[in-house]
Amino acid sequence: MIAPKTIDLSRPRRLHMIGIGGSGMAPFAQLLRAEGHEVSGADARPSETVSRLRLAGIPVMTGLEADLLPSGTEAVIHTAALPADAPPLVRARALDLPLLKYARAVGLYSRDRRTLAVAGTHGKTTTTALLAHVMRRAGCDPSFLVGGSAPQLPPPGRGSSRYLVLEACEYDRSFLHFHPEIAVVTNIEADHLDYYRDVVEICAAFRTFAAQVSGLLVIHEGLRETIARAGGIRARVRTFGTSCDADLRVIDLGASHGVRHFTCGGRAYRLRMPGAHNVLNAAAVLAVATELGIDADAVTAALESFEGVGRRLQVVGSARGVAVIDDYAHHPTEVLAGLRALRDAYQPRRLWCVFQPHQYSRLRRFLHDFAEALSVADCVVIPGIYAARDGDEDRRAVSAGDLVREVQAFGGQAEHIPDFDSIVAFVRSQARAGDVVVTMGAGDVGHVAGRLAAAL
C-alpha cells in the first residue's frame, strides 16, 4: 500500500480547506492563517461561520465554485464527511497534491507542540474551552482548537507558549492522529454507530488513544476497567468522580442564584454553567491545571468567570417571562443531562423542548432512550429529522412520528410539527410566563431559538 502524501506545516504553505465551515475546520483555518499559511476554503453553502471567516481575511468559495481548486494550492485539507469521489478531491489527486483529512492535518500541526487533548462521548467542547480559558487566565497563553464558540476566547490564533489545547473527536478514529502529552477522557458511550460496529469497538479505539498519551491521562473514575486497567497505558493516570475512590473527588453542593457550588480536592469552587455534568467537566480541568502547576487561586477565579460555550445550554433571550435556551444535545444522555440541568437551574412552570433528531441512524438505534429522556420535559415538539450520512434503510426505518409516539408512551406530551415557522408560531402562542423553552439538536434547530426569542 502506498503511503499517503504529506506536507510539512512548520513553514508557510498555500492550503485549501474543503468543508471549512465545519466546527473543527473553521478554527483550524484561522489558526493556520495566524501561523502565516495562505489559507483558502470551500463550503457547500453560505453560513454565519463562512461570513466570519471571510471577515477574518480567508477567501471561501460556496455553491458551484466550491468544486474549484485555487491556483497554486500546495495541499488540500478536508472534512472527514467529504466523499472520496467529491470533484475537488478528484482534481487534487489528478494534480498529485497531498490530501489530508482534518484530524491528520491537526496531528501534523501538533507534532512540535505540547498537546493537551480532550476526548469523550460527551462534554468535549465545553471541557476544551474551559481548559483553554483557565490556561489563558493563568498566563499560559495556549493555542487552541475548540469545536464551538466560546465568547471569552479570542479567535483561534497562535499563543505565545508551545501549548496546544484541542478537542479530540472519536468519529472516524480522528483522535488517533494525536499523541498528546496530557489527555482527558470525560466518558465513553455508544455513539457514532454509523461508523463503529458497537460500544466494544468504541472502547477499543479509546484505549488506543489513551495508549498514545505520554504524560498524564485524566479519566472519569468509571473508566478504570475500560482504560486504566486494560494494559498498554504508559502515562500516569488520575481519576475524577464523585466517589471516595476517585483521585480527585467532587462533592456537588447544588446551585443557588444561577451559580453551581462544589468542592474538589477539599477546595470550594463556583461555576456559572448549569448542570451536574459541568461540575465533572470542571473537575477534569482541575486535574490538568494541577499537573501544569497553575496557581489554585487563579484556577478558582477562572472557573467562576467562565460563561460557557455557544449552543451548550446557551441563553438566547427572555421575553414575557419566557426564557429561551439553545443546546447542542444530540444523544439521549446529553438530552437528559440538559433537561435536568434546566429544571434544577430555572425550576420552570413548564419546560418545553424542541428537539431535532440528528441522523436517522442515531434516532433508529436510540429511539427508546431518546423518548425516555425527552419525557422529562413537559411539552415536546419534534421537527423533521436532520439527515447526515444516512442510508436509505435508516431513512425508511424511522420517522419523527415514531419518536412522538414513544414519548407519549412514556406519559409525555409531544407532537410533530415539520417546519420551523410553524414551530415558532405554535410555541409563541402556547408559552406563558415562567416557562422555559430549550431547542436541542446538532442540526439547524438553533435557528428556532433566535426566531422565537425575537417573536415573544
Any idea what the CATH number is for the domain that residue 290 is in? 3.40.1190.10
Same domain, 239 and 202: yes
Q: Active-site residue numbers? A: 124-125, 167
Same domain, 95 and 117: no
- How many C-beta neighbours within 10 Å does residue 63 have? 11
Q: How far apart are CA 404 and CA 141, in angstroms?
A: 47
Residue 370 lies in a domain: yes
Q: Is residue 451 predicted with pLDDT exceeding 60?
A: yes
pLDDT (mean) for 403-429: 97
Same domain, 76 and 149: no
Lowest mean pLDDT among 148-157, 280-289, 427-436: 148-157
Residue 2: predicted pLDDT: 56
Residue 227 lies in a domain: yes
Residue 96: predicted pLDDT: 94
For residue 445, the domain's CATH number is 3.90.190.20
Residue 332 lies in a domain: yes
Among 250, 275, 305, where does a domain finish? 305
Same domain, 149 and 69: no
Residue 1: predicted pLDDT: 46
Among 105, 133, 158, where does a domain finish? 105
Residue 158: predicted pLDDT: 85
Q: Is the Cβ–Cβ distance between 239 and 247 less than 8 Å?
A: yes
Among 105, 129, 164, where does a domain finish? 105
Q: Is the Cβ–Cβ distance between 107 and 174 less than 8 Å?
A: no
Band (pLDDT 50/70/90 cuts) for residue 313 is very high
pLDDT (mean) for 25-41: 96
Element (H, E) at 263: strand 259-264
The pairing of strands 38-43 and 14-18 is parallel
Q: Which of 397, 384, 376, 388 is nearest to 355 (CA)?
A: 384
Residue 325 lies in a domain: yes
Lowest mean pLDDT among 10-14, 175-179, 374-378: 10-14
pLDDT (mean) for 235-242: 97
pLDDT digits (tens, 9 = 90+) for 196-237: 999 999 999 999 999 999 999 999 999 999 998 888 899 999
Residue 23 lies in a domain: yes
Residue 210 lies in a domain: yes
Same domain, 294 and 320: no
Residue 3: predicted pLDDT: 63
Same domain, 196 and 295: yes
Residue 1 lies in a domain: no
Same domain, 300 and 366: no
Q: Is the Cβ–Cβ distance between 106 and 83 less than 8 Å?
A: no
pLDDT digits (tens, 9 = 90+) for 270-285: 999 999 999 999 999 9
pLDDT digits (tens, 9 = 90+) for 50-91: 999 999 999 999 998 989 999 999 999 999 989 999 999 999
Mean pLDDT for the chain? 95
pLDDT (mean) for 23-47: 95
Same domain, 86 and 147: no
Q: What share of the chain is helix, strand, coil (3-state, %, to 5)?
A: 40, 20, 40
Same domain, 297 and 327: no
Provide, rounded to the nearest whole percent, the portion of the chain with pLDDT above 90. 91
Q: How far apart are CA 220 and CA 387, in angstroms?
A: 32
Same domain, 225 and 294: yes
**How many domains does one find in the chain?**
3
Same domain, 327 and 408: yes
Element (H, E) at 336: helix 332-346
pLDDT digits (tens, 9 = 90+) for 262-271: 999 889 999 9
Same domain, 276 and 360: no
- How many C-beta neighbours within 10 Å does residue 94 have? 9
Residue 4 lies in a domain: no
Residues of the domain holding 451: 314-455
For residue 98, the domain's CATH number is 3.40.50.720
Residue 258: predicted pLDDT: 86
